[in-house]
Chain A
Amino acid sequence: MNAVAGRGRRAGVAEYIGEIAEHKGCRTSPGGAKTNCGSQAGQADLPKTIWEKVKNHPCYSEEAHHHYARMHVAVAPACNVQCNYCNRKYDCANESRPGVVSEKLTPEQAVRKVLAVATSIPQLTVVGIAGPGDPLANPEKTFKTFELVARAAPDIKLCLSTNGLALPDHVDSIARAKIDHVTITINTVDPEIGAKIYPWIFFNHKRYTGIEAARILIDRQLQGLQMLTERGILCKVNSVMIPEINDQHLVEINSTVKARGAFLHNIMPLISAPEHGTVFGLNGQRGPTAQELKALQDGCEGETKVMRHCRQCRADAVGLLGEDRSAEFTTERIMAMDVNYDAEMRRAYQAKVEDERAAKVAARREELAELAGQKSEITLLVAVATKGSGLINEHFGHAKEFQVYELSTSGAKFVGHRRADVYCQGGYGEEDRLSTIIGAIKDCHAAFVAKIGDCPKRNLIEAGIDPVDQYAHEFIEKSAIAWFRCYLDKLKSGEILHVKRDDPAIRQKALTSAA
């Protein structure tokens, strides 16, 4: 673990907004100009206009993702790029990865679904189109949907996620549709590497393969990125980390996209399993381990901000990022639902969420002040079972994922999440489930839970993970910092010894994918 090297110092007591910006993951590095993740300075490095755009967007703001929900509407089935990590034929309701949906929607059905979800889940702030193909390979359906949603629910933010091939042709339409967040997947800026990731593209009525295909794609992606940022549209770049193919190259991608105005870089682990039927799944291309991913994300932090909370969700995902409630909103169900869009109710609900956020930030600030005098080089990871709202509010046995925080004397920093769900593992018993979870968090020193049974508690202790249930239903960061303070005290008194932990594999199957 080398994460904390180069992290900024705390810049006094920031005000409330700044505090959230800080947590969101933006800061000025000690060197000055560069912004990046794990912010300790806050507001200063995030212009107010950008902060206003991202503060309630769960995909663009790590802090917001604990509180706000998003949904993807699957209106864009066609694609113009073939990727070795994608297989469009595969759909399983328990499968979570981009490119997968259970049913596609017409723009009219999509709007009805948006209104139904916005009514049931008032913390829904964002509607995105992310496929299952490429939104811009389906421009009519995509822009029609945005138009209808904007008219029916003007308070909802619109965003889209594209491979970038058709992007330069649609920049004006994107600006006109008032889409202020665009994600472009850029896995390489080197055509030779691109040829190993993309077997072909379809461009100008022709199929291109190999290096030529990759060159066209990369040129169009970077051109589109620049055109968008010049118009003031916020751009995030997604990159899939593929060990031995583009892992060494991702730092270069990071600086290339930063130079063209990308706001955030989301490095995601390759999802590849033989049962997905993808080229990489079938040829045995492995995904990165949790520590490989984290080391790369840490290494990229000097340039464009790095995002770590992506769940690589389905093109029809619904809910908070760590959950997927799409099964509750099938076309059949939404057509039967009594949809009554109540903007006032949503506003009131979101005002409550904002109070909760403010309380969380204040609690963390108090706890951090307690840590002020401590000096230690130790950084360690802890796993947290949460249902959202920034609280330790999930039972160990019910957790579908654990959020991972890195603790040091500078505080608690969100660095990722680990899947703990057991879907697609039919027939496995409790014992297997437990060892799967322990395997997924074996680099952590402690697991914070609302509740845990005696048996799993024993197993965690045997695995060297401290089961912590004394902070049930309290704020994550405040509790983690308090626990860390006790940990350092115990080290000092010689009561415990600090030991390094293992490197877990990233789980490949099921509901909330990755890391």
Chain B
Amino acid sequence: MPFKIIASQCTGCSACEPLCPNVAISEKGGTFTIDPKKCTECVGYFDEPQCVAVCPVDDTCVVDTSWPRRQAQA
């Protein structure tokens, strides 16, 4: 499952954007969004999802349960 950003909690700080190894994060109307088709949950790149690790607001980058889990696909 990819991650998603809860727009109402996003501060628009942009910290996550350059860290994404898949270039899946972009700005949209002042906050940031994750392209679910590109997100790999950082599997194969880093030990922990970078957007989750750097986000200053808890529970803002969360698993998008409407998509299948990444590891399960592999």
Interface residues of A (CB under 8 A from B): 77-80, 82, 88-89, 104, 132-133, 137-138, 202, 205-207
B15 & A80 in contact (Cβ 8 Å cutoff): yes
Q: A265 to B46: give the CA distance in the assembly, Å.
A: 38
A79 & B56 in contact (Cβ 8 Å cutoff): yes
13 more CB-based (< 8 A) A-B contacts, given A206-B53, A207-B53: A77-B11, A77-B14, A78-B13, A78-B14, A79-B13, A79-B15, A79-B56, A82-B56, A88-B11, A132-B13, A133-B13, A138-B14, A205-B47
A89 & B19 in contact (Cβ 8 Å cutoff): no
Q: Which residues of A contact B14 (CB under 8 A)?
A: 77-78, 138
Number of B residues with CB within 8 Å of any CB on chain A: 15
Interface: B36 (CB within 8 A): no
Query: Across the two chains, which residue of chain A brings its CB closest to B60?
Result: A89
A205 & B56 in contact (Cβ 8 Å cutoff): no
Query: How far is the CB of B63 from the nearest CB of chain A, in Å?
Result: 17
Q: Which residues of B contact A133 (CB under 8 A)?
A: 13, 15
Q: Which residues of B contact A132 (CB under 8 A)?
A: 13
Query: Across the two chains, which residue of chain B brings its CB closest to A207?
Result: B53
Query: How far is the CB of A135 from the nearest CB of chain B, in Å?
Result: 13
Q: A133 to B13: give the CA distance in the assembly, Å.
A: 8
Q: A133 to B19: give the CA distance in the assembly, Å.
A: 16
Q: A180 to B13: give the CA distance in the assembly, Å.
A: 27
B13 & A88 in contact (Cβ 8 Å cutoff): yes
Closest 7 pairs between A and B when the two form their complex, measured CB to CB = A78-B15, A207-B53, A77-B13, A202-B54, A88-B11, A88-B56, A205-B46
Query: How far is the CB of A144 from the nearest CB of chain B, in Å?
Result: 14
A205 & B50 in contact (Cβ 8 Å cutoff): yes
- Looking at the complex, which one of B9, B11, B12, B47 makes contact with A206 (CB distance below 8 Å)? B47
- Looking at the complex, which one of B11, B15, B19 makes contact with A205 (CB distance below 8 Å)? B19
Query: How far is the CB of A119 from the nearest CB of chain B, in Å?
Result: 29
Q: A299 to B48: give the CA distance in the assembly, Å.
A: 45
Q: A509 to B32: give the CA distance in the assembly, Å.
A: 30
B54 & A80 in contact (Cβ 8 Å cutoff): yes
A207-B48 contact given A79-B56, A82-B56, CB 8 Å threshold:
yes
Interface: B74 (CB within 8 A): no
Q: A88 to B55: give the CA distance in the assembly, Å.
A: 11
Q: Which residues of B contact A137 (CB under 8 A)?
A: 15
Query: How far is the CB of B15 from the nearest CB of chain A, in Å?
Result: 4
